[in-house]
Amino acid sequence: MKKLITASLIAASVTMTGCASIISGSTQTLTFKSVPEQASISITNKAGEKVHTGVTPATVTLKRGNGFFQSAAYDVTFKKEGFQTKTVQVTGTVNGWYVANIIFGGLIGLLIVDPATGAMYTLNPSDINAVLDENRTASQTGQQSLTVMLVQDIPENLMSRAKYITTL
């Protein structure tokens, strides 16, 4: 009788789990790097909620799923003073271990466990390397520039040299 109960428990535990849940888990660790380093990063999910803020290089663990049969997606924004802001999207694709449920995990793993835990997805790209472009002002590129200001915002030393222009 004990052997029957033990065998039943083992069989139930094998059929009640999903392959992707066992092998991959419901979260994934991603690495974020930038050139130049020490750029600030902000990670937001589909709902627009910030899930992480920090500086590069960084290693962050993110959820793979966003509900039953829904993959997670994230926008990663890199910012550094003197450089252009860059946003990279991280999205979920079907994990190869999810397909193994057909052979090993059965219908419970295929239709319930892996979709509910989010383990059926893999986040891509898993290593994000952002190269930030340097900001260039018009004076740096040798081009002329025009600045529009209100009269009250013009410094006194410039206003003393200003000339009134009449309209036609």
Residues 98-157: pLDDT tens digits?
Answer: 777 777 657 776 677 777 787 788 899 989 989 998 887 655 666 776 777 777 777 787
pLDDT digits (tens, 9 = 90+) for 57-78: 999 999 989 888 889 999 999 9
Kindly indicate the confidence band of residue 96, based on its pLDDT and cuts at 50, 70 and 90: confident
Q: What integer pLDDT is reported at residue 104 of this predicted model?
A: 67
pLDDT of 6 over the 70 cut: no
pTM above 0.85, yes or no: no
Mean of all residue pLDDT scores within the chain: 81
Pick the residue with more confidence: 25 or 8? 25
Q: What integer pLDDT is reported at residue 16 of this predicted model?
A: 45
Q: What integer pLDDT is reported at residue 125 of this predicted model?
A: 93
Write out the DSSP string of the chain: -HHHHHHHHHHHHHHTS-HHHHHT-SEEEEEEEEESSS-EEEEEETTS-EEEEEESSEEEEEESBSSTT-B-EEEEEEE-TTB--EEEEEEEEE-HHHHGGGTTTHHHIIIIIHHHHTTTEEEE-SEEEEEPPBP--HHHHT--------GGGS-HHHHTT-------
